[in-house]
């Protein structure tokens, strides 16, 4: 924090105390006049000497960091040649010296995941930075009381200067996406620092600027080498990335779903590791959702120490805990298995690898196939629409009726709007019906349009993948990965989101990513020698839960209680009649509303939590 009247050590300690789960091994803080820095530490590199905050050579540059810098050894060697002298082996100390040498330009040299705060005492300057892919979170708030920042909103809420009124635009974004799109947060007074951006507070002025922007190359700069050559190069880059992500002074495991991404990581980690690799898997009794057999085959192939858990519907009792961990409404239902597999892994390791980013970079989603097909089949889709809309709703992983209905509803739209239609949770009309007088005039699609406009000249499908890479991945998948793992003091690392891997992925022609109904074509070819044909050519299941079936069965009573008209009227944000209709239509199999209902349940549970929070927060939420 930076407060003109002087940093409050008591508030700083309270903010740090709210994040003990992120760093249970140690905590430290400093106060320097108007500035205060605090950090919680999960000791992974330089266990004895890496406590934070850490200062540079002259002592006037102090750093705290959340994350890991994988090229810290190379940067250290370069800085030592320039005359810097180090007191620890910590990657955080490298950041202090790097800032002394290069200023804010030094962040572009980092290979890692990070949220960093630098206090430059000589210039009375605060610098915040977030990694280019947005792997690690960074929230901030400024006003007359000064500026405060934290890795989670639960810490920022300990700062008296935070305006905790609910942002209705953020609520609209949540209803559209089941997560709050950045840079907004659910609170009017807090923002997310965007991925690849630096915030500087100096002389009372705040500036936020982008320093890195991974994105697709222009269509004329695509890699055109033979397929086999590109596959070999990709395999080498993945091996190098996994090797870098294994840098640790404690054991590293792998979250092994059984899909191609995590299986490739497990294979490469097992080849690189010393010692026996630990792997962790989650499955479901519903076979169409479970990849335990595939995970077991990879674990057996590489002789890992394998641990697994089967999830049952009674696990929804954990939903209030998950909602509390996110601090703001968040409703990706795969958070539930991520919570459980993180808890399982945390019993054995402090660090694990996870496969986020592989789908966005290499073309793994069925929506990408639909994007390509829609350009040719839009007219046919419109003609088939009346028949498709009469299909009853199934309860499988992604039922055929669900895919067909989504496809025909969006196929005739322009490319970006079509892609959005296949992903959105509630349409603008549905949001208005749900929120009534609290409806927002802001169009959440505006953020997609702005991102999409930045990639003019790139190949069409690559532009849509870039929207997912910069928005869906950052605001949904990486939020889920970070909160669910850190709730159990487990650090998850994501080797696909590495600058060297991404540089190749973002230069691939479309046919190397998606051709016909085939997805991730180059990635599958690259890792098939590692995981075998069955895994490499297997069907994508993802990490979704059987929510549609659960909401029509064991979970229906819980849903009706959470979404009861009495509760909704007391909260004052959702129209009970509209919500009740959604639930009734889902139970009657007229439509699959499982994603919508899950989102509404998470929202109402979050609103209950705000009402139970300190009085100032509750008053703001009801305003």
Overall average pLDDT of the 333-345 stretch: 94
Same domain? 170 vs 229: no
431 within domain boundaries:
no
Same domain? 40 vs 129: yes
Confidence (pLDDT) at 485 = 98
In the chain, the percentage of residues whose pLDDT exceeds 90 is: 79
Same domain? 352 vs 308: yes
pLDDT tens digits, 175-211: 999 999 999 999 999 999 999 999 999 999 999 999 9
CB 345 within 8 A of CB 280: yes
Same domain? 15 vs 124: yes
Q: Which residue has the tokens 């804010």?
A: 104
313 within domain boundaries:
yes
393 within domain boundaries:
no
Q: What are phi and psi of 421, to 5 degrees?
A: -60, -35
495 within domain boundaries:
yes
Dist CA 362 CA 446 (whole Å): 25
Same domain? 181 vs 306: no
Domain containing residue 335: CATH number = 3.40.50.620
Tell me the Cα Rg of the chain: 24
Q: Which of 242-246, 548-552, 601-605 has the lowest mean pLDDT?
A: 548-552
| pLDDT grade for 111, boundaries at 50, 70 and 90 | very high
Tell me the β-bridge partners of 65. 116
pLDDT tens digits, 507-518: 999 999 999 999
Dist CA 406 CA 6 (whole Å): 55
Confidence (pLDDT) at 570 = 95
How far from the centroid of its chain's Cα atoms is residue 184's Cα?
15
State the average pLDDT for the chain.
91
pLDDT tens digits, 136-190: 999 999 999 999 999 999 999 999 999 999 999 999 999 999 999 999 999 999 9
Q: What is the tally of structural domains in the chain?
A: 3
Q: How many CA atoms lie within 13 A of 62 on its CB side?
A: 19
pLDDT tens digits, 261-290: 999 999 999 999 778 899 999 887 766 566
Task: Please list, in sequence order, all residues whose beta carbon lies within 8 angstroms of the beta carbon of residue 577, skipping any fewer than 6 positions away.
Answer: none
User: What pTM was computed for the model?
Assistant: 0.93
Domain final residue pick, 175, 190, 210: 210
In the chain, the percentage of residues whose pLDDT exceeds 70 is: 90
Dist CA 146 CA 121 (whole Å): 17
Which ranges of 347-444 would DSSP assign to H, the alpha helix? 358-362, 366-389, 400-410, 415-423, 428-435
Same domain? 191 vs 257: no
Q: What are phi and psi of 115, to 5 degrees?
A: -125, 120
Confidence (pLDDT) at 404 = 66
Confidence (pLDDT) at 376 = 67
Q: Write the burial class of residue 48 (CB in 10 Å: 0-12 exposed, 13-18 middle, 19+ buried).
A: exposed
Residue numbers of the domain that contains 102: 9-210
Residue 315 has pLDDT above 80, yes or no: no
| pLDDT grade for 623, boundaries at 50, 70 and 90 | very low
Overall average pLDDT of the 465-492 stretch: 98
Closest CA to 175 of 610, 619, 484, 604: 604
Is pLDDT larger for residue 172 or for residue 408? 172
Confidence (pLDDT) at 361 = 98
In SS3 terms, 543-586 reads as CCCCHHHHHHCCCHHHHHHHCCHHHHHHHCCCCHHHHHHHHHHH
Closest CA to 485 of 309, 346, 279: 346
Same domain? 497 vs 611: no
Confidence (pLDDT) at 118 = 98
Confidence (pLDDT) at 399 = 59
296 within domain boundaries:
yes
Could you write out the DSSP letters of every residue in 270-285? HHH-SSPPEEEEEEES
Confidence (pLDDT) at 374 = 82
Dist CA 437 CA 435 (whole Å): 6
Strands 35-41 and 26-32: antiparallel
Dist CA 555 CA 557 (whole Å): 6
Residue 589 has pLDDT above 70, yes or no: yes
Same domain? 279 vs 188: no
Confidence (pLDDT) at 413 = 81
Domain final residue pick, 193, 210, 227: 210
CB 28 within 8 A of CB 1: no
Same domain? 265 vs 340: yes
Overall average pLDDT of the 598-603 stretch: 97
| pLDDT grade for 614, boundaries at 50, 70 and 90 | very low
Segment (H or E) for 200? strand 197-202
End-to-end CA, the chain: 27
Which ranges of 304-365 would DSSP assign to H, the alpha helix? 319-326, 335-346, 358-362
Residue 415 has pLDDT above 60, yes or no: yes
Q: Which two tokens stand for residue 244?
A: 């870098």
CB 213 within 8 A of CB 469: no
Closest CA to 289 of 551, 480, 547: 547
48 within domain boundaries:
yes
Same domain? 178 vs 249: no
CA angle 39, 40, 43 (to 5 degrees): 120
Same domain? 476 vs 504: yes
Overall average pLDDT of the 568-587 stretch: 96
Is pLDDT larger for residue 388 or for residue 284? 284
Confidence (pLDDT) at 390 = 57
Confidence (pLDDT) at 356 = 97
Residue 587 has pLDDT above 70, yes or no: yes
Residue 78 has pLDDT above 80, yes or no: yes
404 within domain boundaries:
no
pLDDT tens digits, 422-450: 889 999 999 999 999 888 999 999 999 99
Domain final residue pick, 516, 536, 556: 536
18 within domain boundaries:
yes
CA angle 424, 468, 604 (to 5 degrees): 40
CB 367 within 8 A of CB 423: yes
Confidence (pLDDT) at 377 = 65
Torsion, Cα 297 303 307 312, to 10 degrees, reads 0
Same domain? 196 vs 239: no
**Of the ranges 3-7, 320-324, 377-381, 485-489, the best mean pLDDT one:** 485-489
Q: Which two tokens stand for residue 348?
A: 């054995």
Dist CA 238 CA 501 (whole Å): 6
Overall average pLDDT of the 68-88 stretch: 96
Confidence (pLDDT) at 291 = 75
CB 169 within 8 A of CB 184: yes
Q: What are phi and psi of 255, to 5 degrees?
A: -80, 110
Domain containing residue 96: CATH number = 3.60.20.10
Confidence (pLDDT) at 402 = 60
| pLDDT grade for 610, boundaries at 50, 70 and 90 | confident
């Amino acid at each position: 924090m930076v407060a003109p009247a002087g940093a409050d050590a008591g508030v700083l300690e309270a903010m740090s105390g709210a994040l003990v789960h992120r760093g249970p091994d140690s905590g430290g803080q400093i106060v320097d006049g108007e500035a205060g820095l605090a950090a919680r530490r999960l000791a992974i590199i330089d266990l004895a000497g890496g406590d934070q905050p850490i200062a540079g050579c002259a002592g006037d540059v102090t750093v705290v960091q959340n994350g890991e810098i994988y090229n810290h050894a190379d940067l250290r060697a370069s800085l030592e040649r320039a005359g810097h002298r180090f007191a620890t082996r910590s990657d955080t100390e490298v950041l202090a010296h790097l800032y002394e040498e290069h200023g804010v330009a030094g962040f572009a040299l980092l290979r890692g995941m990070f949220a960093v705060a630098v206090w430059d005492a000589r210039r009375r300057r605060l610098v915040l930075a977030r990694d280019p892919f947005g792997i690690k979170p960074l929230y901030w708030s400024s006003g007359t009381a000064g500026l405060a920042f934290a890795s989670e909103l639960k810490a920022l809420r300990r700062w008296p200067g935070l305006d905790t009124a609910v942002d209705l635009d953020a609520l609209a974004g949540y209803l559209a996406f089941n997560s709050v799109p950045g840079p907004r947060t659910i609170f009017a007074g807090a923002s997310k620092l965007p991925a690849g951006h630096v915030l500087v507070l100096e002389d009372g002025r705040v500036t936020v600027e982008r320093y890195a922007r991974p994105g697709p190359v222009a269509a004329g700069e695509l890699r055109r080498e033979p397929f086999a050559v590109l596959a070999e190069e990709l395999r080498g880059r993945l091996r190098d990335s996994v090797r870098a992500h294994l840098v640790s002074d404690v054991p590293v495991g792998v979250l092994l779903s059984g899909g191609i991404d995590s299986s490739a990581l497990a294979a490469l980690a097992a080849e690189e590791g010393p010692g026996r690799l630990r792997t962790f898997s989650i499955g479901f009794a519903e076979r169409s959702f479970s990849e335990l057999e595939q995970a077991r085959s990879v674990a057996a192939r590489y002789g890992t120490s394998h641990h697994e858990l089967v999830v049952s519907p009674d696990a929804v009792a954990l939903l209030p805990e998950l909602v509390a961990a996110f601090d703001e409404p968040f409703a990706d239902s795969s958070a539930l298995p991520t919570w459980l597999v993180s808890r399982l892994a945390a019993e054995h390791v402090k660090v694990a690898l996870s496969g986020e980013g592989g789908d966005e970079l290499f073309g793994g989603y069925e929506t990408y196939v639909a994007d390509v097909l829609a350009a040719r089949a839009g007219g046919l889709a419109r003609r088939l629409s009346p028949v498709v809309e009469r299909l009853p709703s199934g309860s499988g992983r992604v039922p055929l009726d669900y895919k067909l209905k989504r496809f025909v509803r969006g196929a005739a739209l322009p490319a970006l709007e079509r892609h959005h239609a296949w992903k959105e949770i509630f349409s603008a009309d549905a949001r208005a019906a749900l929120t009534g007088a609290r409806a927002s005039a802001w169009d959440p699609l505006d953020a997609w349009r702005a991102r999409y406009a930045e990639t003019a000249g790139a190949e069409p499908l690559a532009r849509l993948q870039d929207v997912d890479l910069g928005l869906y991945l950052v605001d949904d998948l990486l939020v889920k990965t970070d909160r669910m793992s850190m709730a159990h003091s487990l650090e998850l690392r994501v080797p696909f989101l590495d600058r060297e891997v991404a540089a190749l992925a973002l230069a691939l022609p479309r046919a190397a990513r998606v051709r016909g109904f085939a997805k991730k074509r180059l990635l599958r070819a690259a890792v098939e020698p590692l995981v075998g044909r069955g895994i490499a050519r297997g069907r994508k299941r993802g990490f979704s839960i059987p929510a549609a079936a659960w909401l029509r069965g064991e979970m229906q009573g819980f849903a009706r209680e959470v979404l009861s008209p009495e509760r909704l009227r007391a909260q004052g944000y959702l129209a009970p009649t509209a919500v009740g209709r959604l639930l009734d239509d889902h139970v009657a199999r007229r439509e699959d509303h499982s994603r919508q209902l899950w989102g509404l349940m998470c929202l109402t549970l979050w609103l209950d939590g705000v009402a139970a929070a300190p009085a100032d927060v509750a008053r703001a939420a009801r305003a």
